[in-house]
Amino acid sequence: MSILELTAVALGKKIRTGEITVTEATEAVLGQIRTLEPALNCYITIDEEGALRRAMEVQKAIDGGILRGPLAGVPVAVKDNICIKDMLTTCGSRILYNFKPTYTAEAVKNLEKAGAVILGKTNMDEFAMGSTTETSAFGTTKNPWNPEHVPGGSSGGSCAAVAAHECFYALGSDTGGSIRQPSAYCGVTGIKPTYGTVSRYGLVAYGSSLDQIGPVAKDVTDCAAILEVLASYDSQDSTSVKRADCNFTEALVDDVKGMKIGIPNDYLGDGLDEEVKKAVLAAAEVLKQKGAVVETFDLNLVEYAIPAYYTIASAEASSNLSRFDGVKYGYRAGDYDGLHSMYKRSRSEGFGPEVKRRIMLGSFVLSSGYYDAYYLKALRTKALIKEAFDRAFQEYDVILAPAAPSTAPQLGVSLSDPMQMYLSDIYTISVNLAGLPGMSVPCGRDSRGLPIGLQFIGDCFAEKKMIRAGYAYECSRPYEAPQLSKQGEEGE
């Protein structure tokens, strides 16, 4: 097995035992990036010099016994809406084409304390608004399994980079499925933790009540280990939660005997691709054979999740994105007449079509006369959705569902029909509205060879049950990586 094929935890172990040096691992992955990036476009910024310098520093700390954690020396990629001091942070937008933060996100600081080597910043839908990584101002990311298909979004760059061995793990952010859906499309594992578990300080906000940073990796073991590092209380984030149960790797046990797993009937109806449905039900059967009790039940309110989500998220986005006006940083129009003209032209030229659409929608639902009719109604619906999940978790330890209604669509298809793009998040959005943890795990491939993702949903702060079920399922099937040789040759 080559260095690139190792999981993050497996590589960390070989680094600690001296079988592989941090520099060797970093050079291997940088070589993969140089080979595949022309074809895949997973990164916006690649910091080769900084990564190699950091690799030497981390190696010294490991040799000196200072760094002993499971991820010490393992190269990681960071989604480009998570701030790193003095490193370009664009959010995939022209309006932040030259922005370099003066501080580092708390989640990244936690990785650095654990000995991470940061490779660069990954591509994403502009301001995380999109489900395909096609709305980025820096070009479209391609799916490593088939470059004619999207990698999903908005964390498509992070998920594609992990699948293509262009990093050993990555950070993404999840507002309505932006870690789980692209993980499903790219055949990797991704976790959206309970809201408040990982600090949002340094994450450029889209929907503040919905956003969460989480890990993307090759398997459940990696994601559990990474989440242990990421999870911490942060006084700089008013929504951060103090937790005493963050030993997530304790849940890596191949045993689901007696666990009650529920499958919502609402998630198995119209709109779900038959091949995806078959793969999800086959995964449920595996868990059943391992001793879990698997039942179907009615969750209800699923049909209201998408309108509630896009009303709330767009309202919050219209407020959060008002700061990008061309005055203090970022893009400023070259030709304007007065202050208001500068605002108008800078925002019109700096933001892409999807971002403008959501800002306008958010401004509309918050406007006088429509606030009660739309925004408050969406908040009430959000509360009802949370109540529906609360009732479900009185009966079940974990909920099992598809991560997306289909496998990855072809490039261009979703952009031509925004409503179809919004519907691709139908199985993930409710998790964010309710503040729950969710995890996408690969569960097979369709007739075209594209990955299918299975989603595990846990109750608030019950990541361990979710990880336990996901790990038990994963033990029944080995990790698959895409065949990348031909893509590399085309890229060169």
Distance CA 411, CA 421 (A): 12
Distance CA 53, CA 23 (A): 9
Written as six digits, the tokens of 144 are 């490593």
* Burial (CB count within 10 angstroms: exposed 0-12, middle 13-18, buried 19+), residue 369: exposed
Active-site entry in 93, 154, 158, 430:
154
What are the residues whose beta carbons fall under 8 Å from the beta carbon of 204, sequence distance 6 or more? 81, 82, 83, 89, 91, 127
Active-site entry in 178, 199, 240, 318:
178
Total count of residues recorded for the chain: 492
What are the residues whose beta carbons fall under 8 Å from the beta carbon of 478, sequence distance 6 or more? none
Distance CA 251, CA 421 (A): 34
Distance CA 36, CA 492 (A): 8
Q: What secondary structure does DSSP assign to 376-397, as a single string?
A: IHHHHHHHHHHHHHHHHHHH-S
Contact between residue 93 and residue 126 where contact means Cβ atoms under 8 Å apart = yes
Residue in this structure with the two tokens 């999109």, named with its chain if needed: 130
Nearest to 178 by CA among 130, 227, 136, 217: 130
Nearest to 166 by CA among 111, 216, 203: 216
Contact between residue 87 and residue 121 where contact means Cβ atoms under 8 Å apart = yes
Written as six digits, the tokens of 350 are 């700096």
Residue in this structure with the two tokens 């490193």, named with its chain if needed: 87
DSSP assigned state of 76:
E
Active site residue 154: yes
* Beta strands 212-217 and 189-192, pairing class: antiparallel
Q: What letter represents residue 280's amino acid?
A: V
Distance CA 319, CA 389 (A): 29
Q: What's the gap between Cα 370 and its chain centre? A: 32
Distance CA 82, CA 88 (A): 10
Active-site entry in 79, 121, 192, 382:
79
Q: What letter represents residue 184's amino acid?
A: A
What are the residues whose beta carbons fall under 8 Å from the beta carbon of 319, sequence distance 6 or more? 362, 366
What number of other Cβ atoms are within 10 A of residue 417's Cβ?
Answer: 11
Grouping H, G, I as helix, E, B as strand and the rest as coil, residue 457 is: strand
- Catalytic residue set: 79, 154, 178
